[in-house]
Structure 1
């Protein structure tokens, strides 16, 4: 694709953002674009998105592009907004497939581009895995724009060591009591404070970054003489390794069980949107590092460590044979990812296309 065509694709995707599980028009636009170029894209049966491939045989090399946008306020207006760079990711993978169209010969291997819904909810990749398109993958490459305070344009790294992330939701269920008769009920706010105090005692290896914190609390009314017996709360839990995350979840469940007994109250508790930490494959990242150096004529940075999370890593959890890594694409993202007015250096798109095109060819020859 020519640079002008790539820019047009990006502008269309940027201006027609859609939120998780509603990427219908995004799918339609890209499917029609690929069909017009002579590809045969295949829509997913049970969710938005599609895949498109060229070549045949092994190795099967996958490219993943996330499609969804965030719902946030932008200059006073609530709207779908690509403040995480998924519009760029889709453009890059589209460009790579067009670059490779006449370069991947039959029986030298298969290249499969996967356009995935709902990354922002942390579970879109699981729906794609259920479609069967990851079953025979040998390698999988992803891409993500990086903020300027992490790496600067045009620097790139051959992997992103995302942390694990899980949300939790809890409900304290009881009965209100009169402010003058606290002995007749359980104060849900006191239970919340107790939970907060105890989660602060959860410790993992201090060399491993990990946090657990309240992000939502709702209790009480405007009537200040009523002791609330009911409350809801939410937690955001993050850890740099899956082992540390497992310990935090286990300890949190023990605390909730203890609070039930201590306060003799009903507490429902569940984990939501569990996203695993990255397992960066050494072979895939080495190939990607070579491609970064070849394209940019400068050494690749080491694999970067970030507390953010990405459901890209479910592919290797669900299909352990896949050798996967994600291109950390220096793009001078500012003020930061998920900021409603996020901007980035558009030349990063060209770098992303060139690097991923190179690594796919390199991987097909590597076998």
Structure 2
């Protein structure tokens, strides 16, 4: 632990809150984070930290230490969601109709800026380089890929990220080895039958019946074809069929998502969805067209990296902050950075019933306990410091 980092960040608590509230009140959706990007650039310029913008949004910056060494990357996502803010009484509520930081990315951005400020003040003592990745479009599950293409991971020896987590008590830190977030895929299925009059079903092939049968049978992919000890979720979230109450549907469309941790399970589910769709359609004399879109990969924390996070958190905040949070079926495109370097992704608790901050992520009433900001900012900075110290 670096005591100067701890002391500096604690003196910046008010600034942290102000930064987070500014980002929260001015949310921007994926690939539209122009004002946020400009603000980050201005802030880094004032600190004298060199940076470059990425296209169309996002920022990559570097703090070069006074001594040579490894390079560690710290990542924060910057985009908001198309969610209407329901916390209308907040003085920092979203000013943008239908847009809201409902997942905590405003907090991540503020925490990394203050962490950068603290680290930059100690750069002459650093043995190595710290790369700062302010990533757009995490909610679109494509921002991390773009940042990798823009060179964000070139020369990186290790990568670390944080997510504020409303399901955990404020200040708690979780970073367990192995799976943390699931892969998140999308599937679209179109069934084609033969429409006709609702009073003459014998002359038709009802796409609504095909689609309904598929939805019911699909649940057995997980319950009957996957090892019960392997986690997997298959969810149909949208279903459209027909045009009118007395017309038998000629077409039906289904959209859903698949979540799991194991790549072999992912491959299996993809094949089963195609198999089930075509077999069910064939039973009724219809046709199925299946599109399977691979989104984020599973976030698998490196064992040594996760151990270092736990060590840093315990030294900085005490053993009592360590929290054993179970892996979530939520998706995170941080996984694409882990294709290029070992690393880990930590959760920092921000749930506080007294402050009404235990709402689920992506909900219109989502908010964070701002006391967690100091914990997150220090964890960013102390982890980078510790990694470079241990890898001189």
Q: Taking structure 2 as the reference length, what is the TM-score of the superposition?
A: 0.86
Q: Which residue of 2 aligns with 1:158?
A: 175
Deviation at 1:93, TM superposition (A): 0.7
Deviation at 1:273, TM superposition (A): 5.2
| Aligned partners of 2:185 and 2:296 also within 8 Å | yes
SS at match of 2:159: strand
Provide the C-alpha distance between the structure 2 equivalents of 1:58 and 1:253, rounded to a whole number of angstroms.
49
SS at match of 2:337: helix
Query: Structure 1: 5+ residue runs without aligned partners?
Result: none
Q: Which residue of 1 aligns with 2:5?
A: none
Q: Which residue of 1 aligns with 2:159?
A: 140
SS at match of 1:21: coil
* 1:300-319 paired onto structure 2 within 5 Å: 300-302=322-324, 304-317=326-339, 319=340
RMSD: 2.0
Query: Structure 2: 5+ residue runs without aligned partners?
Result: 1-8, 89-95, 352-356
SS at match of 1:84: coil
Please list the CA deviations of residues 170-224 of structure 1 after superposition, one character each: whole Å capped at 9, or x if unmatched. Answer: 2223442122332333211111022123212213121223221211011123x32
| Aligned partners of 1:121 and 1:273 also within 8 Å | no
* 1:265 and 2:274 correspond: no
| Aligned partners of 1:283 and 1:323 also within 8 Å | no
Q: Which residue of 1 aligns with 2:237?
A: 215
* 1:296-335 paired onto structure 2 within 5 Å: 296-299=317-320, 300-302=322-324, 304-317=326-339, 319=340, 322-332=341-351, 333-335=357-359
| Aligned partners of 2:198 and 2:247 also within 8 Å | yes
* 1:1-367 paired onto structure 2 within 5 Å: 2-44=12-54, 46-55=55-64, 57-75=68-86, 78-105=97-124, 108-148=127-167, 151-159=168-176, 161-202=180-221, 203-221=225-243, 223-272=244-293, 274-299=295-320, 300-302=322-324, 304-317=326-339, 319=340, 322-332=341-351, 333-367=357-391
SS at match of 1:362: helix
Deviation at 1:251, TM superposition (A): 1.1
Deviation at 1:106, TM superposition (A): 8.0
Deviation at 1:260, TM superposition (A): 4.3
Deviation at 1:66, TM superposition (A): 0.6
Provide the C-alpha distance between the structure 2 equivalents of 1:5 and 1:201, rounded to a whole number of angstroms.
52
Provide the C-alpha distance between the structure 1 equivalents of 2:280 and 2:240, rounded to a whole number of angstroms.
18
SS at match of 1:82: coil
Deviation at 1:258, TM superposition (A): 2.1
